[in-house]
Structure 1
């Protein structure tokens, strides 16, 4: 609406209603603004409606595309199967007439003679008869030892601290059997010792004995076989009192039959002890009576 037309309309309205032209002009301006906002709001609503409808259309098209792309494949039409021939019906078995056997003859009782006196069976000689005396020979094939065995005792010596200690004697040019230790074939620990670098050096290579090696003792005309189970070296010179007590336990009495060999090591200092533990071995085909010497 033009400005001149607004003014003319305001004058006419004031003349008819008796209002002041100023108030009429203000009222007209307010009505114009309300119409403009109403028009703008209507356009916004129409645009939003169009956008929502377009969104639904795009969503429907996307869903249809997804369904066509990922819908499960239709299974192929089933092939016509040929009819399976039924197996022939077996004929019922022909009954076989049973034959009634003739009655068997009951035999007369046989004569049982009186038993003779049982023949006494001699008890077999044990493979490892308990020895009554110390061993007198030892053979260790793995290190080439074949030496006589003699009995040895112990000596009491005074140490640097003034204390007295019992020390086992060592045999010269032979292996020493510790007096009162176990006997072959009996429960107990049979202890043998020998020099490694002086007076025969019978146990010079005792440190080379390994588990599985065989040792043969001879006593009372019988052979006693032993198989090595363990071999190790312990420190003796310069060791603590507790360690030396532990070392001495290897030559102490035991509740099983075993053979223990002891010697010094190494060859040039003798600061350690070689200890070999062997257990009784019974071969699958033992020598009758165990009397054969090697």
Structure 2
């Protein structure tokens, strides 16, 4: 009797593991930008977090009033830095980005809109933290769409099942990024590659880091992921890649910027 139960349990576990593997592989395929499958909407369950205070609030634009009374959250981890939760935007935000291609690291991924979750800490404070897409690239709610003349913020996971930005560290100034949005293609040229310390650093530095995902008042694409993927310092840094439209004055001279830097 016991032997039969163990056999049934083993068969169930094999079926479960096999089904999970098939689902993961399907989601990876569906997240690719070169097919018409629906993009997986799954978000990462546990991600590093950073909670920033209300010290900087971008001015609203006619396109999309930024949610009031909070600082846009970013990926990271923090223990003593909090900010009030976001309020509802006055007008609905519509992301028009469908796909991103980064030839240098063989990324061809669908893009889905991501927002934030409200978490309540033990002391009762509420903080807003960005969602991170598990398989696809996430377009930060409230950041610009291509062609709108502002900061297009796209984040991806370095680990997990999707690992869409696992090789973002290898992107260099001069590399190209193609963003598909509203039926058009937008070409950008990488200008900066930064590795920013996020944990155990002064508040001023963390606030400075957060400005990379704030409005820029000029057309730019900002890619964000955690770093490193493994080791004792796992997810304690952020990789920031900033690109400008091809043909702009700034983007025609990539040699004028450092290949990458660590702050």
Mark yes or no: TM-score above 0.5.
yes
The counterpart of 2:238, out of the listed 261, 273, 294, is: 273
CA distance in 2, matches of 1:186, 1:199: 32
CA distance in 1, matches of 2:241, 2:187: 15
Superimposed CA distance per residue, residues 124-170 of structure 1 (whole angstroms, 9 cap, x where no aligned partner): xxxxxxxx842110000001100000000011223466533221110
1:217 aligns with 2:179: yes
Superimposed CA distance per residue, residues 165-192 of structure 1 (whole angstroms, 9 cap, x where no aligned partner): 2211101100000011011011110000
Which structure 2 segments of 5+ residues have no match?
A: 1-93, 249-263
1:192 aligns with 2:154: yes
Asked if the contact 1:191/1:261 (under 8 Å) is kept, the reply is: yes
CA distance in 2, matches of 1:266, 1:159: 26
1:252 maps to 214
Find the residue that maps to 2:97 and give its secondary structure: coil
Asked if the contact 1:133/1:220 (under 8 Å) is kept, the reply is: no
CA separation of 1:273/1:160 partners in 2, compared to 1, >3 Å: closer, same or farther? Answer: farther
1:149 maps to 111
**TM-score for the superposition, normalised by structure 1:** 0.49
Superimposed CA distance per residue, residues 28-47 of structure 1 (whole angstroms, 9 cap, x where no aligned partner): xxxxxxxxxxxxxxxxxxxx
CA distance in 2, matches of 1:212, 1:171: 27
CA distance in 2, matches of 1:151, 1:275: 19
The counterpart of 2:99, out of the listed 130, 137, 148, is: 137
Q: Which moved more, 1:238-247 or 1:212-221?
A: 238-247
Higher relative contact order (CA 8 A, sep 6+): 2
The counterpart of 1:173, out of the listed 135, 158, 163, is: 135
Which structure 1 segments of 5+ residues have no match?
A: 1-131, 284-294
- More helix per residue: 1
CA distance in 1, matches of 2:136, 2:95: 17
CA distance in 1, matches of 2:140, 2:189: 20
**TM-score for the superposition, normalised by structure 2:** 0.55
Find the residue that maps to 2:153 and give its secondary structure: strand
1:235 maps to 197
CA separation of 1:270/1:190 partners in 2, compared to 1, >3 Å: closer, same or farther? Answer: same
1:249 shift after superposition: 0.4
CA separation of 1:273/1:161 partners in 2, compared to 1, >3 Å: closer, same or farther? Answer: farther
1:208 maps to 170
CA distance in 2, matches of 1:270, 1:208: 17
Asked if the contact 1:134/1:177 (under 8 Å) is kept, the reply is: no
Kindly report the root-mean-square deviation, in angstroms, between the aligned alpha carbons of the 2 structures: 1.7
Determine which structure has more spread, i.e. the larger CA radius of gyration.
Answer: 1
